[in-house]
Chain A
Amino acid sequence: MGFLDHMELPVLPTDKTGEGNVIVTSLDTLFNWSRLSSLWQMSFGLACCAIEMMSTAAAHYDMMRFGVIPRPSPRQSDVIIISGTVTLKMASRVKMLYEQMADPKYVISMGNCSNCGGPYWEYGYHVLRGVDRVIPVDVYIPGCPPRPEALLEGLMKLQEKVRAQGKDIEFTE
């Protein structure tokens, strides 16, 4: 059944083969499913992690197979990946970009710098110690920089989170 399995929706068997043509579901489930299957990402690079994000988007790792397509504008994107060190000068701009995105919107904090300040937390007088001080974060990815596999894992975690929205499903750690 392919994508219907992925949806985890009740499908009524209507013909002899057992394959269903009728789907019974709630509107929330359908919306969540559509949202998680096309998480458009804002192509927004901050520092070193942005290069790993580019690697993830290029042929070898191919982020697009998850429906993640880079969009150059915040108004067209669903998820913002904070890929790199957020400095104090940049923090207000990051907040403004987040505010310009249309709901529902998600944030992935990629790398130690945006998680907590990373290697710059102690002496970095111009570095924000964690992007979660300015915008709410959904998924944190550790690493300096995280490998492309780690970024893909983070995206899949976000998909799980979107699937569980508005339901009593346990979000697996």
Chain B
Amino acid sequence: MPEILERNIHSHSLLHASAPVHLPDRVEPKRLHTEEMVLNIGPQHPSTHGVLRLEVVLDGEVVVDVIPHIGYLHRCFEKHAENLTYPQVLPYVDRMDYIAAMSGEHGYVTAVERLLYIEVPEKVEYIRVLFAELQRIASHLIAIGTFGMDSGAFTPFLYCFRDRETILEMFEKTCGARFLYNYMWVGGLSHDLHPDVLPMCRDFLKKSRATHQEINDLLTFNHIFVERTAGIGVLDREVAINGGASGPMLRSCGVKWDIRKDDPYSIYDRFEWEVAIGSSDRGEPGDSFNRHWVRMQEWEQSLNIIEQILEQFPRQDATDVQSAIPKRLKPPEGEIYSRTETPRGELGYYIVSNGDVKPWRVKVRSPAFSNLSLLPLLSRGYLVADLIVILGSIDIVLGEVDR
């Protein structure tokens, strides 16, 4: 990928010659001689989802090549991690993938606990999985809402944010923060579950299933939306696997790969649910529509998991959620790679410890970065308007791409 990033404008003709340009059926091939034009999208653009800059080479309205320029939100996470103690790194983990902060925290604390060989109490695991799944829904709600906006529908955005507020309220009651929590600590949690949260959750389950249907009617099965997204930006199954795609991006191609199922962490093996994959009912596997459709299905599956958590939740368990937190956090010398499934895909932490209170090195394998790197392959040969849809369907978070 860095090779593409460093390529300058003058070498585009070379790239153009080798790149297969597959035109959609509806676009007539150009008969007149046209000259290529370079269009700059971003870093300030409403549909780049943050501060991404795209250098687009156009032939008329057809995209010849896209070069994503990143680094506008490089906040030096890995350098911070080397300078801070293990618990102090957590707030920076929150700010990395800020749309799904709980999922990021879950990944980090799982990694450090594996490094320390800590077992956490059962109750803590239940609360963690409950919050991680609620966060997954909240994150997908933003992805679905903004994807609707990218393809021209504004209303679903408002509906999605309305539901997201309910989830944030539950987080706020429990840990005091609305958005960036610092809630999951290594070995425990910062606060016990607020007594109101479980009833709120039960209420939310009912409402959210209704909203799911509502969004499906409004957006997913809307004829205009399907026309706009089906068959656009098709990702090949082999390319997805070789390119390191993960999460909804990979599953939309029909690959049943979910770390919660295939490499279970925490207590995910106790629940019954389906891995959502793309289908060819509308569009074809791997296109923009199926990436959205996988998110919609995952929303439903997360609700199923939450339902089972509510049934199994150890209500009588009076364990202190901070009982397993080590007083002095100093892992033995060693290294660990631990991966978890965040809403965007496989989030991996590679931590090297030299026996100090600070990590010697923390490397993050971020799903959004790998998914974004496939954008040039996805968008060649489509129109500029389709490029915006394709970018929206990847669901990137620039904080995680640049770190």
Interface residues of A (CB under 8 A from B): 43-48, 50-52, 54-55, 58-60, 72, 74, 84-85, 87, 89-90, 93, 97, 119-120, 122-127, 144-145, 147
Contacts and interface: CB of A to CB of B under 8 A. Distances in A.
10 contacts: A46-B51, A46-B73, A60-B161, A74-B44, A87-B71, A87-B73, A87-B74, A90-B43, A126-B76, A145-B179
Interface stretch (B92-100, B263-271, B323-331): B92-100
B343 to A, nearest CB: 14
Contacts of A122: 83
Given A87-B72, A87-B75, A97-B44, 20 more contacts: A47-B50, A47-B51, A48-B95, A48-B180, A50-B50, A51-B99, A51-B142, A58-B162, A74-B44, A89-B71, A89-B74, A90-B51, A93-B44, A119-B95, A122-B83, A123-B79, A124-B80, A126-B75, A126-B76, A127-B76
Contacts of B92: 119
A144 to B, nearest CB: 7
B118 interface: no
B158 interface: yes
B350 interface: no
B46 interface: yes
A90 B157 contact: no
A61 to B, nearest CB: 9
Given A48-B95, A51-B179, A97-B44, A120 B399 contact: no
A113 B130 CA distance: 30
B207 interface: no
B165 interface: yes
Interface residues of B, number: 33
Contact of A55 (B74, B80, B161): B161
Given A51-B99, A52-B179, A119 B91 contact: yes
The 9 A-B pairs of least Cβ separation, nearest first, read A58-B161, A48-B98, A59-B158, A72-B46, A90-B72, A60-B165, A123-B83, A124-B76, A126-B74
B50 A54 contact: no
Interface in B60-97: 71-76, 79-80, 83-84, 91-92, 95
Contacts of A90: 43, 51, 72-73
B190 to A, nearest CB: 16
A97 B43 CA distance: 11
A87 B95 CA distance: 14
Interface string B390-403: 00000000110000
Contacts of B43: 90, 93
B180 A123 contact: no
Nearest to B142: A51
Contacts of B158: 58-59
Nearest to B399: A47
Given A48-B98, A145-B179, A123 B76 contact: yes
Contacts of B99: 51
A170 B180 CA distance: 36
B209 interface: no
Interface in B20-52: 43-46, 50-51
A147 B180 contact: no
B191 interface: no
Nearest to B48: A45
B7 interface: no
A97 B162 CA distance: 31
B178 interface: yes
A124 B76 CA distance: 6
B40 to A, nearest CB: 11
A50 B79 CA distance: 24
Nearest to B164: A55
A58 to B, nearest CB: 4
B113 to A, nearest CB: 24
Nearest to A45: B50
Residue with the greatest number of chain A CB neighbours at <10 A, chosen from B72, B76, B83, B157: B72
A125 B79 contact: yes
Contacts of A144: 180
A90 B70 CA distance: 11
Contact of A48 (B46, B157, B179): B179
B179 A123 contact: no
A45 B158 CA distance: 18
Contacts of B75: 47, 85, 87, 120, 124, 126-127
Contacts of B98: 47-48, 51
A43 B178 CA distance: 22
B152 to A, nearest CB: 14
Nearest to A84: B73
A85 B161 contact: no
A85 B76 contact: no
B46 A43 contact: yes
B80 A123 contact: yes
